[in-house]
Amino acid sequence: MSTVEQQRAASVEAEPADDVEQQGKIVSSLPQDYTKRLMVFGGRCSMELAARIAGQLDVDLGQVDLRTFADGEVYCRYEESIRGADVFLIQSTAGNEQQDMTPNDALMELLVMIDAAKGASAHRIIAVMPWYGYSRQDKKSSPREPISARVVAQTLEAVGVDRVLTMDLHSGQVQGFFSKPVDHMTAMPMLTQYFMDQAFDEELVIVSPDAGRVKVARNFARKVGVHWAVMEKERPAQQVAEIGYIVGDVKGKTAVLVDDMIDTAGTLTAAARTVLDEGAARVIACATHGVFSGPAYERLALDASGIDRIVVTDTVPLRPGAPDNITVLSTAQTLADSIRRIFADDSVSEIFAGENQLF
């Protein structure tokens, strides 16, 4: 063999072949330049919150056609390609009076959005549920009752969700109803910062409306740097509460009633009356989720409840006619930070220094 032929043979042997092992690794001829995409879509119940989250993420809110047919059926169609994308669907399973939607409508809409995304070959489907509907029905309190929070979890997984992101669940065991990952956010840093930024004439005292929220009230008080108290409550029937007495000193102080949600406001107004009767200078209410159903607005008006201010977040859209003493804080930044970390496969709990499990 001539010298030229030897050099040519050596160069051929040195060239790596497609799909062969080279230096212990498999080298594929397929292109390996895949780049993940993040897409955010909003359901009709949480479209405004979804737009704020998309703005925080510097992405355009995805275009999706959502309609309710004349017979009440929900329809969904994505108006752009979502193939290979990480799709975040923002939808609290709550009612939205302006959109003429009930909590069941919102849940069904979220389910069909998940199914449509699955059929459109999305890479991952993450349901962002700032308010997890049915979360209070998390156990059997009487014979022959369902555990509806578990039903919702099983339905979400059956239709194809890959992950769930939610905020301030009513109870921690709801996470156990899922086999898929559940990221639990909390509005506590935002709410505690709000009270630390306010100037009050009287000393603050954080009050838990019942024994079940003692840990939340204690952590809240520790963050703000004040004392806390707890109220004894009995619930003779669903959505009916009777406040007994207060353990702790509230006399002459500004009492901040802290809870995870305000629904019909029966518990809250009863607690406010008890606190005022115990000598509190004034009462402020604070909760993550302002559901405000039924007679809540009438009960919470300042002249009816004696509550100076009610501070909630935008996890649930306010229905029209809210009294002037309701203040709404946005969770868009917190949820956007969590979405960004999920998309990048980073730690979510670092946002809250590991304190996002409050139960």
The reply to whether 233 belongs to the active site is yes
Sequence-ordered list of residues with C-beta below 8 angstroms from that of 238, at least 6 positions apart, any chain: none
Rounded Cα distance between 118 and 34, Å, is: 19
Contacting residues for 223 by C-beta, under 8 A, at least 6 apart: 188, 189, 192, 196
Contacts with 210 (C-beta within 8 Å, 6 or more apart), sequence order: 230, 231, 232, 233, 267
Q: Indicate whether 102 belongs to any domain.
A: yes
Same domain as 181, residue 136: yes
Mutual angle of helices 188-197 and 214-224, in 10-degree steps: 40
Q: Are residues 159 and 125 in the same domain?
A: yes
In a domain, 88, yes or no: yes
Statement to judge: residues 217 and 129 lie in one domain: no
| Residue 181, domain extent | 37-186+333-350
> For the chain (length 359 residues), average pLDDT per consecutive 10?
54 49 58 78 98 97 97 97 97 95 97 98 97 95 95 98 95 92 93 94 92 87 94 64 77 95 92 93 96 96 94 96 96 96 90 64
Catalytic residue among 180, 215, 233, 251: 233
Shared-domain flag, residues 97 and 228: no
Q: Is 193 domain-assigned?
A: yes
Do 119 and 235 share a domain, yes or no? no
Residue 30's pLDDT is 59
Whether 270 and 175 share a structural domain: no
Q: What is the pLDDT of residues 152-197, one digit of tens each?
A: 999 999 999 999 999 999 888 899 999 999 999 999 999 999 999 9
Same domain (yes/no): 111, 195: no
Sign of CA dihedral 84, 88, 94, 99: negative
User: Kind and range of the H or E element at 334?
Assistant: helix 332-343
Residues 145 and 98 in one domain: yes
Q: Domain check: are 248 and 340 in the same one? A: no
146 is a domain residue = yes
Q: How far apart are CA 351 and CA 184, in angstroms?
A: 11
Q: Show the tokens assigned to 261.
A: 């949600």
Same domain assignment for residues 225 and 141:
no
Q: How far apart are the C-alpha atoms of 262 and 168, rounded to whole Å?
A: 13
Structural domain total, the chain: 2
Asked if residue 5 belongs to a domain, the reply is no
Residue 124, domain member (yes or no): yes
- Cα 344 to Cα 146: distance, rounded to the nearest angstrom: 37
Write the CATH number for 67: 3.40.50.2020
Tracing tokens 């040519």 back to the chain, one arrives at 8
Does residue 222 share a domain with residue 173?
no
Same domain as 218, residue 245? yes
